[in-house]
Amino acid sequence: MITLNLTSKSFGATTILRDINLTVAKGETVGLTGPSGIGKTTLLRLICGIDTDYIGTIQRPDNIAIVFQEPTLLPWRSVLDNIALVHSHLNQDAVKAVLERVGLGNKLAQFPGQLSLGQQRRLSLARAFAARPDVLILDEPFVSLHPELADEMFALTEDLIRETQPATIFVSHNPSDTDRLADRVLTLAGSPATLV
Amino acid sequence: MKIKALSLTALLSVWVVAAYLSADPQVLPMPWALAEPFWSEIKSGALPFNLMMTLQRLVWAFALAMGLGLVLGLIMGLYPAVNTWLDPWLVVFLNLPALVLIVLCYLWIGLNETAAITAVTLNKIPNVATIIREGARALDSDLRAMAQVYAVPRRVYLRHFILPQMAPYIAAASRSGLAVIWKIVLVVEFLGRSNGVGFQIHLYFQLFEVSYVLVYSLSFIAIMLFVEWSLVQPWERHVNRWRNA
């Protein structure tokens, strides 16, 4: 589903990533760990297509979804619109169904600013799973959540992954998080960083 | 609203006191002394006609300056390479006196409407572009990345991602645009048109008719306040309603 053969990724004269080969199959969840600033988010941005300035090849399907560290919502649009505008091909019933699925069925008309942080994260998850993605990127989506809330979000994410079976890459600093969600765990290390 | 009314009443009181102290209606008449010249200009049709002419020029210049300034500001804010090239031009035009542009437009294009509107537009574009450029620079890069990953259509991206972020900057540019453009329109009319509020002010300046100068000025200010309170502010409240939710 995802085939990555990255020769190098540099910012100016500084090479950040080198010789990274990775394949993630449909339904598989790969955990990615490594110290802060090593280049995990950079690698995810390459896989998502946000950053196209690299040497190597990346093959992935078009139907991709991402959950950022921050919810990254449209604060000026309602909960319903936050999904409907991003996935304009989905009808209202499908959007409502996915919001119902993450427990936001009674918040459709509210603005993100009226939701708790946990609810905003749920909305971000709903947006990711709404179009049943082939590839799912999770960039530390449970960071800064209260342990109970993080556990609840984990359970919801596990269920949604089981239901939609995307090829998933999950980044976290916390080894217990990657152990829980990932089928296998890879670590970025070195300078320039590579997978070990 | 109450405070606005009180504030305007206080301004009126200052005028009354100043008129009382000057003790010369030729220099500064009492506010109520403007009723007669106001009514005579209404009856003759001169006031509505000239207000309409000025408004027409203002609407054209405002639309052109906002439209072109918006595009230019967005491009300069989003593309640093373009900004590097165009920034010196912007600085030159920002510092070019309005009077110079007006005179040059009249000399090059002629004493006509095109020259008048072009002069006002060219005067305002740099200000609009500068404000909009700051807005474009402040656009949320995470939202842009999100839109890119989910392949949000360009039309949706512009309307629902970019425009709401730019709204406060567009409102600021519109507000300062209206305030500055109508003043420049008056100078343009003063110098080279045969109608409009600026032309009438020129006429009554030569006749030393302060009350008529005030009638035309205040009538236009009243229209601008109406536009601000009935169009700009409600629009601003509408686009910012999510902040207060």
β-pair type (A2-11, A14-24): antiparallel
Q: Position of tokens 């572009």?
A: B129
CB contact under 8 A, A74 and B143: yes
- Is any Cβ of chain B less than 8 angstroms from the Cβ of A72? yes
Residue A111 has its nearest CB partner, among B146, B161, B245, at B245
Our CA angle for A73, A77, A78, nearest 5°, is 95
The reply to whether A90 touches chain B by the CB within 8 Å rule is no
Instruction: Tell me which chain B residues have a C-beta less than 8 angstroms from the C-beta of A86.
Output: 146-147, 150, 152
Q: If you search the block for the tokens 């920034």, which residue do you land on?
A: B87
**Which residue is closest to A48 within chain B, CA to CA?**
B149
- Decide if pLDDT at A70 tops 70: yes
Taking the C-alpha atoms of residue A136 and residue B69, their distance in angstroms, rounded to an integer, is 40
A87 touches chain B (CB under 8 A): yes
pLDDT of A82 strictly over 90: yes
Show residues of chain B in contact with A88, CB under 8 Å. Answer: 152-153, 156
For residue B37, give how far its alpha carbon lies from the nearest alpha carbon of chain A (Å): 49
CB atoms within 10 A of CB A40: 23
Mutate to test the interface with A, among B140, B150, B238, B243 (most CBs of A within 10 A): B150
If interface means Cβ-Cβ distance under 8 Å, which residues of chain B face chain A?
A: 142-143, 145-153, 156, 160-161, 164, 239, 242-243, 245
Q: What is the pLDDT of residues A123-158, one digit of tens each?
A: 999 999 998 899 999 998 887 778 888 888 888 888
Chain B residue nearest residue A136, CA to CA: B149
CB contact under 8 A, B149 and A50: yes
pTM of the predicted structure, to 2 decimals:
0.79
> How crowded is the C-beta side of B227, counted as CA atoms within 13 Å?
18
pLDDT tens sequence for chain B (245 residues): 788 889 889 999 999 999 999 888 888 999 999 999 999 999 999 999 999 999 999 999 999 999 999 999 999 999 999 999 999 999 999 999 989 999 999 999 998 999 999 999 999 999 999 999 999 999 999 999 999 999 999 999 999 999 999 988 998 898 888 888 888 898 899 988 889 999 999 999 999 999 999 999 999 889 988 888 888 888 888 877 777 76
Quote the pLDDT of residue B245.
Answer: 66
Name the residue among B226, B228, B229 with its Cα closest to residue B174: B228
Q: How far apart are CA B149 and CA A62, in angstroms?
A: 9
Segment holding B21, helix H or strand E: helix B2-22
Contact yes or no for A76 and B149 at CB 8 A? no
Rounded distance, CA B118 to CA B106, Å? 9
